[in-house]
Chains A and B, each alone.
Chain A
Amino acid sequence: MPLVLMSLELIEIFRWAYGLLAELGLPPVWVMLISYGVIGVLMFGVLALLALFLVWWERKVAGHVQQRFGPMRNGWHGWYQTIADAIKLLQKEDVDIIARDKFVFFWAPVLCFVAAFLAYICIPFGKDLIVADLNIGILYIMAVTTFTVIALLMAGWGSNNKYALFGGMRSAAQAISYEVPMVASILTVIIYAGSLSMVDIVQSQNSFFGWFICRMPFGPIAFVTYIIAATAEANRAPFDIPEAEQELVAGFNIEYSGMKFAMFFLAEFINLFTVSAIAVTLFLGGWEGPWLPSWLWFLLKTLGIVFLLMMFRWTYPRLRVDQLMEFAWKFLVPVTFANLILAATMKYLGWYW
């Protein structure tokens, strides 16, 4: 039975399809273009579905935390509720306000949406299941996810609304502050993996005790600080001040409606999945695991982290903006840097396994 399950690797399907394509006798450039085109469309579809699933799941988690059911009417436990919502959002009138900065206002949701997808080029979904194994993988991801901040700032500025501007400024300040501890915790892992490539990082933690979260004592610290910083990066409660509903009504996306709003909304959930996927790749051994196929392991672990972040959101109050900054610079930054030094020292002295 385990053998059957293990053989269900998705990558085999891709290899088989690629083999068929190669046999057609097209020039190699065409083969490459077609294969990347197919993969791009596939990724887009999968991620869009994933975002819809996460929206539904978030509502179910929220419902059960709050002792209610969440969506129940449409299908089994309301499974197509978010699909219906997405279709509704597509049909909604796109309210075009007059006093906006047209260029910035239009491109902000697009940039936000694209930036959210770009990171998936080098996230390994399973063994060999990666679009491109860049040798600077994690650095690339950190770089492109930062575009989101620019998008939010653009949305805040372009809306010509004071609440939106507050939201944009807050998100910029927050992202810049939390980038530092986030990168510092990631560096801890990179020191040991000895590579920036996502595949190499996963391969360097090939048994349960090899997972970075199990490397005492710096592993768990780096994991916790990463999760905190990632929550802030994904703009989720208790760090959701850019869109703090009770203070800024809706923050940066206050003036957006219809499809533009949906793009922000879906990008937010894709970002949530991205930060969880990075956490799994860096600390929880990525696709590694017995019995089940690798992509399923990856998915299960990532959804586990997503669930954790959702539980944060539905149980914690929101931090105030100054407390948020204080927490980043006065607590997280020193802790992560101390941890980094500790990890580096132990690596130098060879006190690790």
Chain B
Amino acid sequence: MGKLRTEEFQVNMGPQHPSTHGVCRLLLTMDGEKVVDVVPHVGYLHRSIEKICENRTYAMCIPVLDRFEYVTAMSCNYVFALAAEKLAEMEVPERAEYLRVIMLELNRIASHLIFYGTTAMDVGALTPFLYGLRERELIVDLFEMTCGQRLTYNYIRVGGVSRDIPKEFVPKCREAVKIIGEKLSDYEGILNENPIWIARMKGIGLTDPQKAIAWGVSGPVLRAAGVKHDLRKDDPYSIYNKFDFDVAIRWNGDCYDRYLVRLDEIRQSLKIITQALDGLPEGDVRAKVKAKFKPPAGEVYVRIENSRGEMGVHLVSDGSTKPLRVKTRGGSFNQLQYLPEIVRGKGYLIADLVAIFATFDIILPEVDR
């Protein structure tokens, strides 16, 4: 009997596929169930946000950039505001800085809760998704109370924040922090020790720290590989150096560690929020900004730690009311770029690829812009 003839074939995973988190097309070369190679094709969500920003005033850029990474829209608001403030060398009132930190951390938790839910769903457990979104609802309600929006906030502006928080925000926020802190053990209870979960996640999608750095991977993915790199500590912005928190870190760099790192980060964020609420000073929430905001000509790159890694803006101003160039950088872009490196030739199955894609926490608007 001759040898059975087998051949590799190609499968289009996406653009519409339940586990590509948006519209990403992964062109898989497969040998049976094994993934031999993966080529990501992006751009299905390209809205040319950078070009639109060049054609808008600074204040108008912020709601556009909300759509850059809508899962953590506060960070997008903040990173642009930070860049503009740095160019104009503007001082921001202290209360505004506290509010920004509270919002950024709440948004980070909301994003990680979505990660928790969608990852569990991609691995086949449908229930945690609802658990994650239930607690996210508390946070989204807080945002709605503050700025009237639940997803794209347009809250953090150049020079401060758009408005002060209502009176009931602080007690509500403390309550939400308490509830989320308690529910975290539920989250861990349903998945962490589950043998199927461990079998699916442990040892899958190993990232090499040196290679990951070279490929520009940042955030929880890098920290799960044992690199203690958190811009809140390493390159402190806003008032993060006032707070006491640890950088969540794990050592193996597999899917399981990436999942645990994010759960740990929720804890640290809760810690920061509690401290910020305790120390919240009275005062203005916005510096005086002229209606025609014109930063002096110059350029600056700022970067912050987003829930998906380093988020940055390279802002070039020519001294007019509109930015000359807004180059945005998001964590997902580099992580998706790095994805083929860790999948190619490792003999992962299609189910592993789904788990890796989920734990990289890639969202496509950030890649396509």
A interface residues with partner B (beta carbon < 8 Å): 62, 65-68, 162-163, 166, 237-238, 240-241, 244-249, 314-323
Contact = CB atoms under 8 A, between A and B. Distances in A.
Given A317-B125, A317-B196, A320-B200, 17 more contacts: A65-B127, A66-B129, A162-B11, A237-B126, A238-B196, A240-B124, A241-B351, A244-B124, A244-B351, A245-B18, A246-B354, A315-B190, A317-B191, A317-B197, A318-B123, A319-B199, A323-B200
Given A66-B131, A162-B11, A247-B351, A318 B196 contact: yes
B33 interface: yes
B19 interface: yes
Interface string B159-200: 000000000000000000000000000000011001011011
B215 interface: no
A317 B123 contact: yes
B9 interface: yes
Contacts of A62: 126-127
Given A246-B122, A247-B19, A247-B354, A316 B9 contact: no
Interface in B129-179: 129-131, 134
B124 A237 contact: yes
B352 interface: yes
Given A244-B351, A245-B18, A322-B349, A166 B123 contact: no
Contacts of A246: 18-19, 121-124, 354
A318 B124 contact: yes
Closest 3 CB pairs of A and B: A318-B124, A66-B130, A317-B125
A315 B17 CA distance: 23
Contacts of A65: 127
Contact of A315 (B9, B19, B127, B199): B127
Contacts of B121: 246
Contacts of A238: 124, 196
Nearest to A65: B127
B350 interface: yes
Interface in B333-359: 349-352, 354
Interface string B216-242: 000000000000000000000000000
Interface of B: 9, 11, 17-19, 33, 120-127, 129-131, 134, 190-191, 194, 196-197, 199-200, 349-352, 354
B354 A317 contact: no
Contact of B350 (A240, A245, A247): A247
B116 to A, nearest CB: 13
Given A67-B130, A246-B354, A247-B354, A317 B194 contact: yes
A162 B350 CA distance: 13
Contacts of B196: 238, 316-319
23 contacts: A62-B127, A66-B127, A66-B129, A66-B131, A67-B131, A166-B350, A240-B124, A246-B354, A247-B19, A247-B351, A249-B18, A314-B127, A317-B120, A317-B124, A318-B124, A318-B351, A319-B199, A320-B199, A320-B349, A320-B352, A321-B351, A322-B33, A322-B349
A108 B35 CA distance: 29
A318 B124 CA distance: 5
Contacts of B18: 245-246, 249
A315 B194 CA distance: 10
A323 B198 CA distance: 12
Nearest to B28: A162
Most A C-beta atoms less than 10 A away, residue of B33, B121, B124, B350: B124
Contacts of A248: 350
A166 B33 contact: yes
A318 B352 CA distance: 11
A316 to B, nearest CB: 6
A329 to B, nearest CB: 16
A162 B32 CA distance: 11
Contacts of B199: 319-320, 323
A323 B82 CA distance: 49
Nearest to B201: A317
A312 B32 CA distance: 29
Nearest to A241: B351
A314 B124 contact: no
Contacts of A245: 18
A316 B194 contact: yes
Nearest to B129: A66
Contacts of A318: 123-125, 196, 200, 351
A47 to B, nearest CB: 27
Nearest to B123: A317
B123 A321 contact: no
A167 B191 CA distance: 26
Nearest to B351: A320
A245 B129 CA distance: 15
Most B C-beta atoms less than 10 A away, residue of A314, A320, A321, A323: A320
B200 A317 contact: yes
A66 B129 CA distance: 9
A244 to B, nearest CB: 7
A317 B127 CA distance: 9
A61 to B, nearest CB: 11
Contacts of B191: 317
A337 to B, nearest CB: 23
A222 to B, nearest CB: 22
Contacts of A321: 33, 349, 351
B38 to A, nearest CB: 14
B360 to A, nearest CB: 15
B327 to A, nearest CB: 34
Contacts of B19: 246-247
A315 B196 CA distance: 11
A317 B190 CA distance: 10
A237 B200 CA distance: 14
A240 B125 CA distance: 11
Given A163-B11, A320-B349, A321-B33, A315 B200 contact: no
Nearest to B355: A320
Contacts of B17: 249
Contacts of B9: 162
Contacts of B129: 66
A68 B120 contact: no
Nearest to A170: B33
A318 to B, nearest CB: 3
Contacts of A241: 351
A247 B35 CA distance: 12
Contacts of A247: 19, 350-351, 354
